[in-house]
Amino acid sequence: MAAARDRFVKDRGLTRRMVLTMFLLGLLYVVFVSVLISLGVRAVVVLLIAGGILLVQFFASDRIALFAMHGRVVEPREAPALHALVDRLCALADMPKPRVAIADSDVPNAFATGRNQRTSVVCVTTGLMRRLDEPELEGVLAHEMSHVAHRDVAVMTIASFLGVVAGLMTRVALYSGLGGRARDDRGGPPVGLIILLVSVVVYAVSFLLIRALSRYRELAADRAGALLTGRPSTLASALTKISGDMARIPTRDLREAEPFNAFFFAPAVSGRTAMAALLATHPPLERRLEQLARISADLGRGV
């Protein structure tokens, strides 16, 4: 069946990066499993366990995310204004309507999840709805719906999970007796130590690849959402408000939301250091605002 076409601006750079990231991660894990097998680890057992967990996460990612964020799907009668905004954006984008959810959290944020357009969910927090006016909220929703249209939500779900496979395989190999020999036949370093070092390298490379993709996909969503609504300034205003208010959120609430930063509209952090910028899930606020300013100028000139 042919995929539904929508009117969100396509981003070939994002598509190339998603394909390249998945290829490199796949290659990385082929090498990783080959090393483990050569060391005597019965990797098939671990891969079966990891594969089962991956299937659960992939097919239930929407329910897992909503449960973790204390969100629930709401009907039009429960949130008529929110549904009206989503309906309008769906009409503009000519795409199926995702389910609409609200998370009871003061952290001002939004996220989209689901493996495809048919199973997608767009969720906003109560804190976001209190802080933004209607045009700003529409800009945030357009940003999140573009993630669904670009299909990068499913890619991030798979890519993020692959990062934990190395850790899982290490634990099983070291603590369940799957590591085989304590040392190699030539009296070299312990097999467990080799597995640990290889796992650390695999996890580090995976982490950096996923972070790089995550930063680019946020810029792509900003651009697509701004062009769909034709009002980049409202999205910029929403970004500025949310980023400014994030510093006022209690640290405990930020830490609770932090594991979902890669899927959020804005990262749940109160500050950023030079090292944190390298590991960040989102591009700097200044870069996002500069892009939106350029889009606004182009639209003003009729480009």
Catalytic residues: 144
Write b or e for each residue in 258-267: b if 16 or more Cβ atoms lie within 10 A of its Cβ, otherwise e: eebbbbbbbb
Inter-residue contact 72 to 129 (CB < 8 Å):
no
What type of residue sits at position 135? P
Strand pairing class (71-73; 121-125): unpaired
DSSP 8-state assignment for residue 263: G
Stated as kind and residue range, the H or E segment containing 27 is helix 12-38
- Please list the alpha-helical segments (H only) found in 39-177: 43-59, 61-68, 80-93, 126-131, 134-150, 152-175
CA angle centred on 163, ends 160 and 165, rounded to 5°: 120
Distance of alpha carbon 210 from alpha carbon 163, whole angstroms: 9
